Amino acid sequence: MGCGPPSLSQNIATMTSFPKQFFWGASTSSHQVEGGTYNDWSEWEEKNAPRLTRQARKKWTQRQQEKFPEMFDEKNYISGRACDHYNRYEEDFDIAQRLGHNAHRLSLEWSRIEPEKGKFDEKELEHYKNVIAALKKRGLEPFVTLWHWTLPLWVRDKGGWQSSRTVRYFSRYAEAVAGYLKNDVKFWVTVNEPEMYAHKSYLIGVWPPQKRNPLLLIRVLCHLASAHQEAYECIKRIAPQSQVGIAKQNIYFEAHPNNTVTRAAACVADWWWNHYFLRRIRTYQDFIGLNYYFHRYVWSPPEDNAQNVSDMERELYPEGIYPVLKELACYDKPIYITENGLADINDTHREWYIRETSKHVRRAIEDGVDVRGYFHWSLLDNFEWDKGFWPRFGLVEVDYTTMKRTVRKSAEGYKTIIENASAR
């Protein structure tokens, strides 16, 4: 595999259609939408809400502070009821069906299913079986994530991902879930964004358990890779026809084309962030799930480089998904875009962003990349981890007081994109 993504300077040629069996949908994660969870994150929220509230004045710009005053309310940082999706999932899936989706990515909450070591709650397993049945009844293919960053308290107390024991615990959890749902789920995502979790929790130290230790970072990544491998083998043994992968966040690192130093730096960043983990699990995946959000200049961009930004003031760079997809083609695996989205409360950029992203996904398909699905983040506004509720990522707006759902205009635009792609 060569170092560095292909150039974006080519003109976009006439596109072929998306594959006939292409999956279109949106993603959610249990802790962010279900409500009523009790895990290492919910405990951390209670302890850290006052600190996060105080730090908001330094962390966010004046414009953001004026637009989102809720960031100064401690309740913003407590997940609580979240979107009450645990009780309202049928209503939410009705919306997804009306919007033309034919697939949905969700996660299971480990802390619900195994609240105590070795004790699996059949009531919660049955709940998730009903959730998946509700998706299939509406013609939505479930993509099920086993771990999206939260841990049962008993796992946390035994060392979390710092401990090699957690690999064994996770494998047992995967085996139990796969055994229960083997006839209902074809697509499994074992872990979500292992590199993001490890860096935020064990290098930058802003997420639980808030440690800053590069050696722990490496250890955690190694344990997550081993956990994926063991879970992969468990699921394939129980349900050989299932498809198992991960959701991996990859970034488009752009170097100055005439500067050797920045090109070398981009190569290092690309290897470490985009490929280190994937190479470790290369023979243990049936597909790659891509989460694409970021474009990073390895040198300062031109001063006149005007760019759209989200409410979180992240650059919106939909064309970057093309070189990221082209790079992933070297693994010779099907690719599903398992997350891609933006915080946009006024719905100013979302439809444009989805349309432009889909254009560059089609370009990658035209160039031979085996892309088989796109899941927007997110179906619903939700709890955005240490930022709380103020960033609004949903195709569907959620009133957190009444829990009323309101479909945004961009969701209808996405529906049109899906219909047009299916009609080709």
User: For residue range 297-316, what is the model confidence (pLDDT) as tens digits?
Assistant: 997 766 545 479 999 999 99
Tokens representing 145? 């994530």
pLDDT of amino acid 335: 98
Give the β-pairing of 396-398 and 405-407: antiparallel
pLDDT of amino acid 301: 67
Burial annotation 185-214 (CB, 10 A radius, 16+ → b, else e): bebbbbbbbbbbbbbbbbbeeebbbebeee
pLDDT in tens, 58-76: 999 999 999 999 999 999 9
Contact 175, 242 (CB under 8 A): no
pLDDT of amino acid 304: 47
* Farthest CA pair distance, the chain: 60
Nearest-angstrom CA–CA distance, 132 and 184: 7
Query: Exposed, middle or buried, 47 (CB in 10 Å: 0-12/13-18/19+)?
Result: exposed
Place of tokens 């949905």: 104
DSSP per position, 148-197: SS---HHHHHTTGGGSTHHHHHHHHHHHHHHHHHTTT-SEEEEEE-HHHH
Nearest-angstrom CA–CA distance, 52 and 47: 10
What count of other Cβ atoms lies within 10 Å of the Cβ of residue 319? 15
Q: How confident is the model at residue 270 (pLDDT cuts 50, 70, 90)?
A: very high
CA proximity to 38, closest of 119, 114, 118: 114
pLDDT in tens, 177-216: 999 999 999 999 999 999 999 999 999 999 999 999 999 9
Element (H, E) at 127: helix 122-137
Q: In percent, how much of the chain has pLDDT > 70?
A: 94
Q: What are the residues facing 406 on neighbouring strands? A: 397
Residue 15 has pLDDT above 80, yes or no: no
Give the β-pairing of 371-377 and 23-27: parallel
Specify the CATH class of 23-423 in words.
alpha beta
pLDDT in tens, 84-115: 999 999 999 999 999 999 999 999 999 999 99
pLDDT in tens, 162-182: 999 999 999 999 999 999 999
What letter represents residue 289's amino acid? G
Tokens representing 335? 């690719």
pLDDT of amino acid 424: 63
pLDDT of amino acid 299: 79
- The size of the chain, in residues, is 424
Residue 125 has pLDDT above 60, yes or no: yes
DSSP 77: G
Give the β-pairing of 287-291 and 335-339: parallel
Q: Measuring CA to CA, how many Å separate 261 from each of 28, 189, 266, 289, 360?
A: 39, 37, 9, 31, 29
Query: Exposed, middle or buried, 399 (CB in 10 Å: 0-12/13-18/19+)?
Result: exposed
pLDDT of amino acid 303: 58
CA dihedral for 64, 317, 144, 405, sign (positive or negative)? positive
CA proximity to 176, closest of 168, 104, 40: 168
| Whole-structure pTM value | 0.95
pLDDT of amino acid 2: 45
The whole-angstrom distance between residue 126's C-alpha and the CA centroid of its chain comes to: 25
Q: How confident is the model at residue 423 (pLDDT cuts 50, 70, 90)?
A: confident
CA proximity to 86, closest of 127, 34, 32, 39: 34
pLDDT in tens, 214-227: 999 999 999 999 99
Average pLDDT over residues 353-374: 98
pLDDT in tens, 308-348: 999 999 999 999 999 999 999 999 999 999 999 999 999 99
DSSP per position, 293-317: --EEESSPPPTT----B-TT--B--
Residue 56 has pLDDT above 90, yes or no: yes
